[in-house]
Amino acid sequence: MSEPQQSGQNQVQNYIGGQWTDATGTDGMDVVNPATGETLSYVGFSTDGDVDEAVQHGQAAFNTWSQRPIEERIQPLFELKQLLEEHLDALAEVLVEEHGKTLDEARGELRRGIENVETACGMPTLMQAGHVENAAPNIDETAVRKPLGVFAAVTPFNFPGMIPLWFLPYAVASGNSFILKPSERDPLTTKYMFELIDEAGFPDGVVQLVNGSVDTVDALIEHDGIEGISFVGSTPVAKTIYQKAAANGKRVQAQGGAKNHIVVSETADLEFAARKSVSSALACSGERCLANDVVCVEESVYGEFRDLVVDIAASQVVGYGLDEETDVGALITPEHEERVRNYVETGVQEGANLVLDGRDVSVEGSEDGNFLGPCIFTDVTPDMVIAQEEIFGPVLSLMSVTDVDQGIEVLNSSDFGNAASLFTGEGAEARDFRHNAQAGNLAINAGTAAPMAFFHFGGQKDSFFGDLHAQAEDVVRFYTDETVYIERWPDA
């Protein structure tokens, strides 16, 4: 493993052409532990020149990498899986320190990332596209998937260990080269993963890392040498990236923000539904695109369900993610904490009932951390801001609905369409929900509708811009072009 150089203030470096180098921009920012306020590192932002250098290396690498047999291209992924497993606990600690989530959540996130590396090792099968003999008289037709060149991905802060792996292993196993621009707010997990990538045996330039912010992303989108952009982040940025990338003639898949709902039927196991609702809303302090923070409960069981939820949420331990007993960790920045607190205030102003108020939480020994305890609102109505906008914090809203159908109406009226869940004991209700609810990921009796890596992950409506999603066969199609061979030979 080549050692990252430690320049300046322990700067997080780029990984370009197989070398660790400093970004040459004059801008950058501190990487801060959200639970303690301690500065962990500094990330410099990359310039157009840095991006251009990475693209040139990516193109040179593509010329030979794409010609290698597919069986050879997946070998570094087997190595990478092994390295990620060996370093999982250490990676999880880095992730907690820079992000604020709990150790359990960090380990779980990394496992979901590794699952993608495993799935991409099936590329010899994933790349198969189809063959028909005698498609016309004496004519055989075969579709093949071919890699295209250099791809880039721009990823958010909330899953720095997992989301890059929704793309990276598939891009390179299918024969492309790949440049990652991770979130500038928590780039240290990615840096650690690239130290492992460096060790895994990819040829120089096949997998690269450029750190930065908005300007770096613009440089990637505007560079003629990049074939396509995968983006995950907030909806306004996803929309902009989608438009800009398309205007620059690139393929683009852009996953945006969310507002996810749970519907609870009177036939559900209420205790189970309450536990799953609380964990779904509070996991990663609510900083998840799959957080279900609105629960629509059938009125006949609303009171009982509310009491269960409040009891469970009140027992959650708020604290430093490195403490094993912590259930709810820190929010990413003081600015984001302030934004979430403003939403809580908005909920109060618009008449919702704040039955559990986590605003006064204090964490001993972490007085400078960005903490907010669980906040539970009851009597929420669909027109309220807290029922409509993505809050991205540990805030859960309970809404009474006449029946499951009304719950489905509420969730379908959302601008977003990432995920939704139904808790029920009735097969017919489950079938109706699957048929009528509008979201890319629908769960029955599960709080978080997160598909395994061998299914695609994608939202609908304002949660996704594009057509081919992350993970599995969808992303392989994004990273390849299909050519059809039409073949006839003279009769012997």
Closest approach of ligand NAD to the CB of residue 272, in Å: 26
- Measure the CA dihedral 219/222/226/232, to 10°: 70
- Length of the chain as a residue count: 492
d(C-alpha 136, C-alpha 147), whole Å: 28
CB nearer to ligand NAD: give 144 or 450. Answer: 450
C-beta of 146 vs 239, nearer to ligand NAD: 239
Residue 201 CB: number of other CB atoms within 10 A? Answer: 13
Smallest gap, in angstroms, from Cβ of residue 236 to ligand NAD?
A: 7
**Which lies closer to ligand NAD via its Cβ, residue 4 or residue 156?**
156
In the residue annotation, 375 being an active-site residue is answered as no
The binding site for ligand NAD (CB under 6 A) comprises 154-159, 181, 183-184, 213-214, 217, 232-234, 237, 240, 255-258, 289, 390, 392, 418, 459, 463
Residue 75: exposed, middle, or buried by beta-carbon count in 10 A (0-12, 13-18, 19+)? Answer: middle
Contact 189, 91 (CB under 8 A): yes
Q: Which is nearer to ligand NAD, 392 or 479 (CB)?
A: 392
User: Which residues sit opposite 353 in a β-bridge?
Assistant: 378
- CB of 261 within 8 A of CB of 418? no
3-state secondary structure at position 226: strand
**Residue number closest to ligand NAD, CB atom:** 233
Bridge-based pairing state of the strands 39-44 and 28-32? antiparallel
Q: Which is nearer to ligand NAD, 112 or 477 (CB)?
A: 112
Q: How far is the CB of 31 from ligand NAD (least distance, A)?
A: 13
Q: Least Å distance between CB 159 and ligand NAD?
A: 6
Closest approach of ligand NAD to the CB of residue 306, in Å = 26
Supply 101's token pair: 């989530």
Q: Which is nearer to ligand NAD, 215 or 350 (CB)?
A: 215
Question: Angle 48-65/214-222 helices, nearest 10 degrees?
Answer: 50
Q: DSSP class of residue 32?
A: E
Shortest Å distance, C-beta 234 to ligand NAD = 4
Q: What residue ranges in 115-233 does DSSP mark as E strands?
A: 128-136, 139-147, 150-154, 177-181, 207-209, 226-232
- Of 121, 284, 289, 296, which one is the catalytic site residue? 289
Q: Which DSSP symbol is given to 144?
A: E
Give the residue numbers marked as catalytic. 289
